[in-house]
Structure 1
Amino acid sequence: MVKKKLSKLFILVTTIVMTTSIFAGCSKPAPANTNPGTSAAKDEQSVVYNLGAENDTYDPGLATTVGSATVVNQVFEGLMRLNDKNQPELAAAEKVDFDSNNPTKYVFHIRKDAKWSDGQPVKAKDYEYAWKRVLDPAVASGYATQLYYLKNGAAFNGKQAKIDDVGVKAKDDNTLEVELENPTPYFLQLCTLATLMPVRQDIVEKDKDKWATKPETYVGNGPFKVTAYTPDKEMQFVKNDNYWNKAQVKLDKMKFVMIVQQSSALSAFETGEVDYLDSIPSNDVPRLTKEGKVVSLPYIGTYYISLNNKKPGLDNPKVRKALSLAIDRQVLIDKVWQDPRKPATSFVPYGFPDSDSSKQFRDVGGDMLPAKGDVEKAKQLLAEAGFPDGKGFPQVEYAYNNDETHKKIAQAVQDMWKKNLGIEVKLNEVEWKVFTPQRRAGNYFIARDGWIGDYMHPMTMLDIFVTKDGNNHPQYSNPKYDALILGAKKEKDPIKSMQMLHDAEKILIDEDSAMIPVAFYVSNVACKPYVKGVRKTPVGMMYFDRAYVEGKAAAK
């Protein structure tokens, strides 16, 4: 009975999915009951992945970047996970009770063989503690909004309710009862995210600030565990022998290196020091694609430029719109990225369904910005704001994290603003682990930014801009926008709910120009042919639990 209900729910949750799995340059994983072939038996089951820049945290409850989530995904496991069709499937939970007549209640049954990497059993209270910890205002998680769907989640985070009022309760060691504020058709997708993964209270409370930085205390319930960590250099993993599904894990060990410069990372890939790479120098993408070494995968997100709405000059929507219209997005794609990505003519990218699942949200919403810009309109708006030809405009700084492509984009945009508007902008390259908290805190004027969807619904792109959201880097605030987002979450009619999101996006981009959408992402990846079964989803999640090595020894 439960399986039947769940299958219907999965269809409701994932109204549009990629029908084929995304195995980034690698072949599909071996079937569950298959061992790697004769050649693979001689191969060391070990892969090296370039994580890129060091992240500011690897704490599941605090992680907000793709890089930090990539690490968390190897060490921890949620109640659900994404399968090879990017639909949620059972993971640490062995069963979910759901009644469509009571769509705000879920009961998760934790696997009795689920264990932490130190051998202790995973309990329902570990999820209750983790979720309430994310919502605790004292913790200040940038992703607390992902748990606002829980009954009284937002109220507790806003100090308007008690922790015991939050709609998640461990009924016993293996039963987790969840109550939502409103029906949320994509809730099971949320249960795959790093934010909703469990953490152990006894470990976290002993060393709240550093527990996630030391292998001996970075205890997880996922397929791998960390054995060594050298900040800014590498992280080493081994198979977690206490993982409930360890029979499916073929790799004995992995290494994530942290090579920031794309050209250096590519050299390491070409010499065989790195097996999997998903940050490629833009100048090399056309050549490597032609040679069959790089493929461009769907990646549902938007590269944008954050404008701090509270800074002088940038607090005027006419200025923000002028800066946006002065950019030729197509030139940036043609001259810098040189790949199949599309110019971002609004914020929500392609890939999300509308209320009519045969149509995409982006197609229904249409273009709100010209791909090639509108310099004359930009000049007019800047003059109307009191800065004709850039005269009197305050000195501003464009910050970006140290990456060769980000640097090229920043330089090109700097030139466009100087040439088209007469505005001088200073560039500032910042180390990623410093850049991330600065941007989150609003300690900048203009900053390189980007957002990858967490689940297959446009809400994942738009709710980050509600007032005081932890990921609202532009410090944007508009009560009308907030009301539309909240209304869309509460509205039971999917057509009315989706229209609210369209209306909200129009306010965000067309009216307020809260930030500058630049381009819709693609993911350019390179994977060694002997590495099989690595999976990267359209929302950026990396899975190595079904990966294996086959043919490397024979190729030498």
Structure 2
Amino acid sequence: MNKKIVIGAVAIIVVAGIYATTRPSKSAKGHTLRVAVQNNISTLDPNLADQVGANWAEVQTLEGLYTTSANGKIIPGVAQKIVQPTQGNKVYTIKLKKNQKWSDGSQVTASDFVNSVKRQVNPATKSTRANHFKDIAGYDAVYNNKENVNKLGISAPDKYTVKIELSHPVPYFNFILANQLYPINSDKLKEYGSKYGQTAKTTVSNGAYTIKKWNQSSTTWEFVKNKYYADAKSVHYDTIKATQVTDATLASKQYLAKKVDEAEISGGILTDLKKSHATDIKSTQKGRVAFIVWNAADKTVSNTNLKRALSLAINRKELTKSALADGSTPAKSIVPSGEVKVDGKDFNANLSLPYNKALAQKYLKQAQSELNQQKITITLNTADTDAYKALGVYLKQSIEATLPDVTINLKQLPLNAEISAFENHDFQAGTLTWSTDYNDPIDFLDIAYSKGAINFTNWTNSEYERIINKVSEQHEANDARYKLEQQAAKLNNDLNGVTPLYQVSNVHLLRSSVKNLDYPLIGYQNYKYAK
């Protein structure tokens, strides 16, 4: 769930006639930017943050060894420079800047990065982000075989040097250093223990902003400029005031009433907004895919032919065009389009997830015979936001209309309860989205891999495992690696380890007065660059 599990990514809403009499507001007063977001912040413990709201907040409050520029380019963060790995591209020796401080005024040191990695990989931490360090030497010994965490290939030769040893070259490792490897304040962790990063009071930052007026149940909070941030003079906005607004209509109303300067929106409200406020709409593809998770321990939904039938019964074009209507696109596989190319074509160019009523009914008959069951009932978990309620309703309608012998019962849960149900395998089926922090399909393919940290399904397939293991032997970002990953994606499309639904569109309303705020395919907007 790294960065990444999101609840509230879509909304099926049609509202007309509410935009005609309003006009865009002028720029935000002073140096305060007011934003409306769909997701709350589950935690600011970087070793546990696995939800979109949390990872978006990490970008504002933490800085890794590397970071990204306003347009998404990898640049030095706490590190002095981008280094060239040695010893066959497996060893990174990174010198830290000495002017880096935490928001409590203490020094950021190499140990803060080393301790963070060890804590995240330690099985006792139960981090769903552990697999992002799977390429560091010793990962399998520590994470899978429960050996001493000091066997990990990361160390601090001195106070301002981090040394990382990989088990093999990793073509996207700079992205890991920029978007995944965040430091922890070792002293504060000892002081706060399990409360670290769970409230504003127990959170420390080394990034452009600190967080105020926040706990895990907050629907409003503030990012305040970190006075100890080394480049604080370049940060324009002193305060980012955030409000969670899960209803896209309400978010747009707040924007149009000039109560917020940026609003995350979705759904049918875009039809009217495009007529009256087209220049305020910022819509880009996101490296995020929505999918259905099936519990492999459940006799019914573990049936491959049933999952094939259900996938074929979902009209993804109708879902994205008519129901979502926000620029989201039908998934062609579990991997988002636009991430990498193979032989000069997009990764998904030859992959598809079609709607086919006749074939769906054919596979259902096979499943009914195998299960010795005519009528099939499935409980589908969704989060209790308006967005996911709407997605659940669409899936129920689409599947039941195509397959009359199938009944979908919707079970709505609070976000934390839904995540807990997945982690405890106390579910039959459920909807999630996953976004990536680096440009390689393996991050999504790991969702169905038995050793993947977020394989909630416990699904395993020997051929899929074989392909993923071969991918790990390919150490270059080239067509050979990507073709293997295509094979895995195609196999998942057929067997439905997880069932992809759609690729999320990143849609915001933004004042024309706000400059230099971009929405990248990988990662999140960074307010320290906004002017």
**Do Structure 1 and Structure 2 share a fold, with TM-score over 0.5?**
yes
Measure the CA separation in 2 of the matches of 1:470 and 1:92: 27
- Aligned equivalent of 1:33: none
Task: Provide the secondary structure at the position in 2 that maps to 1:207.
Answer: helix
Is the CA contact (8 Å cut-off) linking 1:62 and 1:141 kept in structure 2? yes
The amino acid of 1:541's aligned partner reads Y
**Aligned 1:67-466 pairs, distance under 5 A:** 67-99=53-85, 102-193=88-179, 195-230=180-215, 231-280=217-266, 282-291=267-276, 292=278, 293-356=280-343, 358-363=344-349, 366-370=350-354, 373-386=355-368, 392-422=374-404, 423-466=406-449
The amino acid of 2:196's aligned partner reads W
Is the CA contact (8 Å cut-off) linking 1:55 and 1:432 kept in structure 2? no
Query: What is the TM-score normalised by the length of structure 2?
Result: 0.89
| Structure 2 runs not aligned, ≥5 long | 1-25
Shift of 1:262: 2.5
- Aligned equivalent of 2:517: 534
The amino acid of 2:198's aligned partner reads T
Tell me the alpha carbon deviations over residues 190-249 of structure 1, each in whole angstroms, 9 at most, x when there is no partner.
1122x4100012212333322212323201100011222153321122110100111211
- Aligned equivalent of 2:11: none
Shift of 1:465: 2.1
Shift of 1:367: 2.4
The amino acid of 1:224's aligned partner reads Y
Shift of 1:73: 1.3
Tell me the alpha carbon deviations over residues 35-89 of structure 1, each in whole angstroms, 9 at most, x when there is no partner.
xxxx98x941011222323343221111112211011111111111122332211
Shift of 1:519: 1.5
| Structure 1 runs not aligned, ≥5 long | 1-38, 549-556
Shift of 1:160: 4.8
Tell me the alpha carbon deviations over residues 153-183 of structure 1, each in whole angstroms, 9 at most, x when there is no partner.
2321113532221111011111001110110
- Aligned equivalent of 2:22: none
Measure the CA separation in 2 of the matches of 1:386 and 1:410: 23
Percentage identity across paired residues of the two chains = 22
The amino acid of 1:496's aligned partner reads A
Q: Say if 1:154 and 1:235 are closer, same or farther in 2 by CA, change over 3 A.
A: farther
Measure the CA separation in 1 of the matches of 2:144 and 2:184: 23
Query: What is the TM-score normalised by the length of structure 1?
Result: 0.85
Is the CA contact (8 Å cut-off) linking 1:45 and 1:252 kept in structure 2? yes
Task: Provide the secondary structure at the position in 2 that maps to 1:376.
Answer: helix
- Aligned equivalent of 1:9: none
Is the CA contact (8 Å cut-off) linking 1:56 and 1:436 kept in structure 2? no
Tell me the alpha carbon deviations over residues 486-531 of structure 1, each in whole angstroms, 9 at most, x when there is no partner.
3212224633322221221122122x11222122221111112233
Task: Provide the secondary structure at the position in 1 that maps to 2:163.
Answer: strand
1:490 pairs with 473, 476, 480, which one? 473
- Aligned equivalent of 1:513: 496
Measure the CA separation in 2 of the matches of 1:116 and 1:342: 41
The amino acid of 1:501's aligned partner reads E
Task: Provide the secondary structure at the position in 1 that maps to 2:34.
Answer: strand
Q: Say if 1:475 and 1:286 are closer, same or farther in 2 by CA, change over 3 A.
A: farther
Is the CA contact (8 Å cut-off) linking 1:535 and 1:544 kept in structure 2? no
- Aligned equivalent of 1:471: 454
Shift of 1:406: 2.6
Is the CA contact (8 Å cut-off) linking 2:331 and 2:352 kept in structure 1? no
Measure the CA separation in 1 of the matches of 2:212 and 2:288: 32
Shift of 1:264: 2.4
Task: Provide the secondary structure at the position in 1 that maps to 2:341.
Answer: coil
Measure the CA separation in 2 of the matches of 1:323 and 1:209: 41
Tell me the alpha carbon deviations over residues 12-46 of structure 1, each in whole angstroms, 9 at most, x when there is no partner.
xxxxxxxxxxxxxxxxxxxxxxxxxxx98x94101
Measure the CA separation in 1 of the matches of 2:82 and 2:283: 36
More off after superposition, 49-58 vs 519-528: 49-58
Is the CA contact (8 Å cut-off) linking 2:86 and 2:92 kept in structure 1? no
The amino acid of 1:169's aligned partner reads S
Is the CA contact (8 Å cut-off) linking 2:287 and 2:435 kept in structure 1? yes
Q: Which aligned segments of 4 or more residues in structure 1 are displaced greater than 6 angstroms?
A: none
RMSD: 2.2
Task: Provide the secondary structure at the position in 2 that maps to 1:169.
Answer: strand
